[in-house]
Structure 1
Amino acid sequence: MNVFEAESIVRLVIYLACLTVSIFAFVNSLLYKPEAYEAAGKLNKPTWCTILGIGVVLFFVPVPLLLINFILLIAALVYLADVRPALASLYRR
């Protein structure tokens, strides 16, 4: 295995990890009711679903939009780190 093959494998693993995080965040954002977003004091459901959905779709665009993909990945991570726990706390018993 040469350096270029190793680099390709690392890039593929990073790409798949980022894609998985984005898809998980998008699907998770669809599971909560719109009222939960308002009760948690976060952006509304259509806004989060749009941001995360665009992030998932742009991962499949063949043109490398690295900066945009990076920003939307950060949005998915913010959703998972901040919004998802706030929404989940509303449903805990």
Structure 2
Amino acid sequence: MALGLVALCLQVWALSDCLRTPAADFQRAYKRTKQFWGALTGVSVFLGFIYVLGGINTSVAVGQLVSPGMGMGLIFNLAAATVASVYLADVRPALAEVRGRGKGRQNRGSSW
């Protein structure tokens, strides 16, 4: 259940970052469109929410903390967490570089 909540937080972070980023930045970074990543991360959040909600419903029905099943829900949630991770590890740094906040920008001096 805890890992499902961590995955849901990751998915929400990816979706919120995608929604805050202007569509032109995606084109300048040579990544897929904002609509593409918005749809993928939106579905990712939905699947993560359903997975966590299923675990809560199971816990309430049984009367104890029971982890969600290891069936198709887990596979869908792993795929959804993978989508969010790809966005955060590949697309987000490229977008930050385009906006001038990435690793690629030159250091204009040192604070030392």
Normalized per residue, the structure richer in helix is 1
Is 1:13 the counterpart of 2:2? The answer is yes
Contact 2:48 2:77 in 1 (8 A): yes
Task: Work out whether residues 11 and 81 of structure 2, in 8 Å CA contact, stay in contact via their aligned partners in 1.
Answer: yes
- Tell me the SS of whatever aligns to 1:60: helix
Structure-2 residue corresponding to 1:77: 85
With the length of structure 1 as denominator, give the TM-score of the two structures.
Answer: 0.80
The separation in 2 between residues aligned to 1:48 and 1:26, in whole angstroms, is: 8
- 2:11 corresponds in structure 1 to 22
Partner Cα separation in structure 1 for residue 5 and residue 49 of structure 2: 11
Number of paired residues?
82
TM-score, with normalisation over the residues of structure 2?
0.67
Where does residue 3 of structure 1 map in the other structure? none
Q: Is the 8 A contact 2:14 2:88 kept in 1?
A: yes
CA distance in 1, matches of 2:35, 2:47: 18
Q: What percentage of aligned pairs have identical amino acids?
A: 33
Give the 5 Å matches for 1:1-80: 12-61=1-50, 62=54, 65-80=73-88
Which consecutive residues of structure 1, in runs of 5 or more, have no partner in the other structure? 1-11
SS in 2 for 1:42: coil
One-letter identity of the residue aligned with 1:87: L
SS at match of 1:50: helix
